[in-house]
Structure formats: C-alpha cells, structure tokens
C-alpha cells in the first residue's frame, strides 16, 4: 500500500480545542497523526493556526466551511483565509434544508459548487462535500449523493464519510467504485447498529476493501479520522482510533 497520510478531524476533540489550541495540537502531533482537518478556527487567525501546524509537522487536510462560504459574497474572503492557513481542501459538511429538500434543490446546489469550483481552481484549491446519512436515503426516487455527484464537475470531490454511508443502509465500497477518482479525502468513521460509541476498527465497516479502493481507484490523498461519540475520553478515543487504523494499514 502507498502511504496515504492520516489526519484528525478536529471536531472530534472540539472541547479540548476550545480550551487550548496550541497544547491540543501538540498532543495530536505527539499521537502520531500526520495532519488535521479544521472545523472552525477557535478564535485564532488562519495564518496563526497554519504556523502552529507547520511548527508541529502537521499537514492540513482540509477545513469544513458552511455552504455560504463558497457563495459569491463570502468566497473571496474565504479564499484568502485558506491560503493563509495553508489549506487546499475546502469541504462543505452539510446543507440547510432548502439546499437539499428535493431533487431540484440538489441540482441547484450542485451548480453552486460548480460556480465556486471555477473560481477556486485558479488558486489550486479543491472543493468537496461531506455526507451525513440523508445523502444516501432515497428522495423522490433518487439518491441525493448520486444527484450531487452526477451534476457537479469532476474536480468537485466527495468527502465520503464511511460511517454515515453505512448508517443509511448503503455500501461505501460500491460508492468508492462508482465515482472513482473523486474522493480526495475520506472520513474514516465506523458504524455499529448496536453501539453508537463504536471506535474506528471495532464496527462493521469492511476496512480492508475500503482502504484498498482508496489506495487504488478513489484518488484519496488523506484519510481523516472522525470520532463524534466516545466510550472513553475524547483524546484517548482518537489515539485509539489512530492505533487501530495504523494496525489495519500494516503501519505498526
């Protein structure tokens, strides 16, 4: 296998980040993570955060931003923030109801991404969308994820959240194959119908096949661990997740 780096979505340790950003980032680096994905800037300037990460040897695997941040009136300011942060992956992590309540709404939303992508590519910035469960649940006879992926340009990527996809009753293996080359970053999250607190590697996801596809056909540049619920304290949970993923990848 190639050495796709492993990042942590910082929403996983949001309370720790809110209390002490420098110390928390240092602990993430000490755990052995290769990078981080931001979900908010925790009252710090993007340039300052980028420098912190650089000093710790942490790459930046993305930043979650609301859909309004890629629309006309906010896009230019957010381009500057991303360049200052040193981040190339802008990811919209969800949508308000009116952006996704019909097939037509999804088609309109796809065009919002297309327009933004045409501007972002001038700065070598990538634009993606992160799913929850509802993107894989039938709507007017169609699967919203399909509507979105089929109506966006090839450069718009899907940040496939493995756990949410399984939660919706769909198979991430099939979707990694269906839109090959369009999963620049993948959220490594597990699912267990009997345990909402399941850690990565302890659920039902077929990680061997998923990782093989990420390496071979999906175009994946970052694995991003996200743990939203915890059977143990958050910092312990994300350290265990990293250990599990490295073991599955044969890196320890």
pLDDT tens column, 11-30: 999 999 999 999 999 999 99
β-bridge partners, 6: 223
137 is a domain residue = yes
Query: Which pLDDT does position 1 carry in this prediction?
Result: 53
pLDDT tens-digit profile of 47-69?
999 999 999 999 999 999 999 99
Q: CA 91 from chain center: how many Å?
A: 7
Domain boundaries, position 10: 6-248
201 pLDDT exceeds 80? yes
pLDDT at 2 over 80: no
Q: For the chain, give the mean pLDDT.
A: 97
Q: How far is CA 180 from CA 2, 52, 89, in A?
A: 17, 34, 18
Average pLDDT over residues 199-225: 98
User: 73-93, pLDDT tens digit by residue?
Assistant: 899 999 999 999 999 999 999
Q: Could you write out the DSSP letters of every residue in the chain?
A: -----EEEEGGGGHHHHHH-HHHHHHHHHHHT-SEEEESS-TTS-HHHHHHHHHHHT-EEEEEE--GGGGSHHHHHHHHHHHHHHT--EEEE----GGGTSSHHHHHHHHHHHHHHHHHHGGGT-EEEEE--SGGGS-BTTB-HHHHHHHHS-TTEEEEEEHHHHHHTT--HHHHHHHTTT--SEEEE----TT-TTPPTTSSS--HHHHHHHHHHTS---EEEE---S-SS-HHHHHHHHHHHHHHHTT--
The pLDDT of residue 103 is 98
**Gap between the Cα atoms of 180 and 111, Å rounded:** 21
Within-domain flag for 60: yes
pLDDT of residue 41: 97
Residue 127 located in a structural domain: yes
pLDDT in tens, 116-129: 999 999 999 999 99
pLDDT of residue 213: 98
Residue percentage of the chain with pLDDT more than 90: 98
Give pLDDT, residue 227: 97
Residue 58 in any domain: the answer is yes
- Give the domain CATH number at 19: 3.20.20.150
How many folded domains does the chain comprise? 1
- Residue 224 within a domain: yes
Q: Residue range 192-208: average pLDDT? A: 97
Q: In whole angstroms, what is the distance from residue 16 CA to residue 13 CA?
A: 5
Mean pLDDT of 194-203: 97
Residue 1 lies in a domain: no
| pLDDT of residue 136 exceeding 70 | yes
In a domain, 67, yes or no: yes
The confidence score (pLDDT) of residue 241 equals 98
């Amino acid at each position: 296998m190639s050495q796709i780096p492993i990042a942590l979505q910082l929403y996983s340790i949001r309370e720790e980040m809110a209390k002490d950003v420098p110390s928390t980032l240092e602990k993430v680096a000490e755990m052995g993570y290769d990078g981080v994905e931001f979900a908010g800037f925790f009252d710090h300037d993007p340039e300052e955060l980028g420098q912190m990460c650089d000093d710790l040897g942490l790459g930046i695997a993305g930043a979650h931003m609301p859909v309004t941040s890629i629309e006309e009136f906010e896009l230019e300011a957010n381009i500057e923030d991303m360049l200052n942060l040193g981040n190339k992956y802008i990811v919209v992590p969800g949508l308000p109801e009116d952006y996704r309540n019909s097939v037509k709404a999804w088609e309109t939303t796809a065009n919002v991404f297309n327009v933004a992508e045409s501007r972002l590519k001038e700065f070598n910035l990538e634009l993606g969308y992160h799913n929850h469960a509802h993107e894989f649940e039938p709507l007017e006879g169609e699967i919203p994820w399909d509507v979105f992926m089929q109506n966006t340009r090839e450069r718009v990527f899907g940040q496939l959240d493995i756990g949410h996809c399984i939660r919706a009753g769909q198979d991430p293996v099939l979707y990694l194959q269906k839109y090959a080359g369009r999963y620049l970053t993948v959220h490594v999250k597990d699912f267990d119908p009997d345990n909402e607190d399941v850690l990565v590697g302890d659920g039902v996801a077929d990680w061997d096949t998923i990782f093989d596809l990420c390496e071979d056909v999906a175009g994946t540049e970052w694995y991003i661990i996200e743990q939203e619920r915890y059977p143990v304290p958050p910092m312990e949970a994300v350290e265990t997740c990293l250990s599990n993923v490295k073991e599955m990848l044969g890196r320890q």
